[in-house]
Chain A
Amino acid sequence: GQQLNQSPQSMFIQEGEDVSMNCTSSSIFNTWLWYKQDPGEGPVLLIALYKAGELTSNGRLTAQFGTTRKDSFLNISASIPSDVGIYFCAGLSNNAGNMLTFGGGTRLMVKP
């Protein structure tokens, strides 16, 4: 089946630093999604990307849909302690209906 490789697996950064994480796939996706999961909660959608090359921002978060449709990245600028959590990328392909394929997650830790 399709697989998403997400990196890095974990990051420990200082408050105020910028963060970058990415996902790559061997298959094409038509939609890329980025979710954040807080401890004991379900994933919450941060950004959705629908077109190759699309660059979308949501506050301090910026995500891009790669031009090959096989990758995406998420940047967080000026990190704050509440950014702590696990970030997941997920891909949707037209030939898989609404079935999401998830990356393994990036665990972000922010030191005040």
Chain B
Amino acid sequence: NAGVTQTPKFQVLKTGQSMTLQCAQDMNHEYMSWYRQDPGMGLRLIHYSVGAGITDQGEVPNGYNVSRSTTEDFPLRLLSAAPSQTSVYFCASSYIGLAGSDTQYFGPGTRLTVL
């Protein structure tokens, strides 16, 4: 299986533009999440989902929307991009509730620049 895949790998936007970052996993994981990584700050959780049709906010949700219509896909939408959203975005997935199996696996990331 391919694990967690993300597209695109790189993206440049102008302020005010909208776009969707794609994330897919083929491991039948219930839990999916989006993080952003900024220099010196580790990874911060944006939104997460514990199953199809269920999403919730993480630590830094403002300016981002998500939906989970299928188990496999968890897109992240920027409705009106701002320079503060310049970052590297990572999607991750895991099982839920299985001790020892709930560790998260990360995609390769999307590097976003907002001008």
* A residues apposed to B, CB below 8 Å: 1, 4, 6, 9, 31, 33, 35, 40-45, 48, 50, 88, 90, 92, 97-100, 102-105
B31 / chain A contacts, CB cutoff of 8 Å: 97-98
What is the distance, in angstroms, from A31's C-beta to the closest C-beta of chain B? 7
CB-based contact B40/A33 at 8 Å: no
A-contacting residues of B (Cβ < 8 Å)? Answer: 4, 31, 33, 35, 40-45, 48, 50, 58-59, 90, 92, 94, 96, 99-100, 102-109
Q: Are B103 and A48 in contact (CB under 8 A)?
A: yes
Asked if B106 and A99 sit within 8 Å, CB to CB, the answer is no
Find B108's partner among A41, A45, A103, A104 (CB 8 Å cutoff). A41
A98 to B96, CA, bound (A): 7
A43 lies within 8 A of B50 (CB): no
When the two chains form their complex, are residues A105 and B42 in contact, meaning their CB atoms are under 8 A apart?
A: yes
**How many Å from the CB of A20 to the closest CB on chain B?**
19
Which of chain B's residues have a CB closer than 8 A to the CB of A102? 35, 42-44
Specify which of A31, A44, A104, A105 is in contact with B102 (CB 8 Å cutoff): A31
